[in-house]
Amino acid sequence: MLCKICKSKGKKEKAVISIRHHKLALCKEHFLEWFKKQTLKTIKQFSMFGKEETIGVAVSGGKDSLSLWQLLTECGFKTVGIHIALGIDKNDYSKKSLELCSRLSERINRPLIVFDMKREIGYTIEEIAKLSGRKDVCSVCGTFKRYLINKIAVNEKMAAVATGHNLDDESAVLLSNTMRWDTGYLARQYPVLEEKEGFAKKVKPFCFFTEKEIVSYAILKEIEFMETGCPNAGSATSPVYKQALAFLEHKMPGTKLRFYREFLKKGRPAFEKETKEEYNLAPCRTCGMPTTAGVCSVCRILEKVRGVNAKSGKN
């Protein structure tokens, strides 16, 4: 297959990727150009951030977040990486993840803020889940990561936090929310969440790219990333929705992008009034971060963990 753009200029260059839903086959140079242009278009379309602002990029060590950090930096944005070291020992997962984030930080010459849970809180994420009696380590992990990344961004006065969520993630979440007609979540699913009383602005510049496009970018840019997922990933339900969408995409190329884009255009406005409900946010009595519950969920979990440990005489 030949690159479509090169072909239009009378050149015969081999394509490195075929993007079926855009009916595009592109060589390395034109794919990288297309990828950059599309990202800048998304940033502009949703007024995500500007060149003068400091942007936190939440990096896990995976292809999505590291590619995002590389690209935003290359585009001239003032980026700072934020990594939460979870302390997951199996397969050296956390150690390797941190190593890869640090390596990219050095390569692009941008600072990396690391929050080490064991060192700063005293427990790894798995210890917290176990001691607080929660079976689903991923939901505890999600709560802590969101809380910590937000706290760092607010403390560091960052204009926004960018995450590497891609089209596969967003369309799977959309399908899952639609299956349950969870109107509250449907109303909030958007590439931008504006800053609000103690919550930093959150943005997803890669939300229209598939995993395949991002992994191609990472490989072509020679970014080293974690190729094996987190050992706890198996319990999540989203792979089922991803598989369902992959099947539809295979039969009807463009399904995922259409599903998500049309939702943003036509579906979401129908649920928007759900976000207008007044939440009574107030500072958490323990940590001062905003919550609707008096004491925030992270502090409540930690109280339980410390209580358990005090009873068993470990603390």
What residues line the site for ligand SF4 (CB under 6 A)? 137-138, 141-142, 230, 232-233
Name which of ligand SF4, Zn ion, none residue 102 binds, using a CB cut-off of 5 to 8 Å depending on partner kind: none
| Number of residues this chain uses to bind Zn ion (CB under 5 A) | 11
Name which of ligand SF4, Zn ion, none residue 299 binds, using a CB cut-off of 5 to 8 Å depending on partner kind: Zn ion
Helix (H, G, I), strand (E, B) or coil at 209: coil
Name which of ligand SF4, Zn ion, none residue 230 binds, using a CB cut-off of 5 to 8 Å depending on partner kind: ligand SF4
Instruction: Choose, by CB under 5 A, the member of 57, 113, 284, 305 that binds Zn ion.
Output: 284
User: Least CB distance from residue 236 to ligand SF4, whole Å?
Assistant: 7
Burial degree of 155 (CB within 10 A; 0-12, 13-18, 19+): exposed
In the chain, how many H helices and how many E strands?
14, 10
Residue 116 β-bridge partners: 85
User: Least CB distance from residue 295 to Zn ion, whole Å?
Assistant: 6
Residue 54 β-bridge partners: 78
* Torsion angles phi and psi, residue 160, rounded to 5: -165, 160
Using CB under 5 A as the binding rule, the residues of this chain from 2 to 41 that contact Zn ion are: 3, 5-6, 13, 27, 30
Name which of Zn ion, ligand SF4, none residue 286 binds, using a CB cut-off of 5 to 8 Å depending on partner kind: Zn ion
Residue 17 β-bridge partners: 26
Residue 84 binds Zn ion, judged by CB under 5 A: no
Asked if residue 180 lies in contact with residue 165, where contact means CB atoms within 8 angstroms, the answer is no
In the complex with ligand SF4, which residue's Cβ is closer, 117 or 296? 117
Tell me the residue ranges of DSSP E strands in 165-263: 192-193, 202-203
Q: Which of 275, 276, 271, 292 is nearest to 197 (CA)?
A: 292
Instruction: Choose, by CB under 5 A, the member of 129, 218, 299, 301 that binds Zn ion.
Output: 299
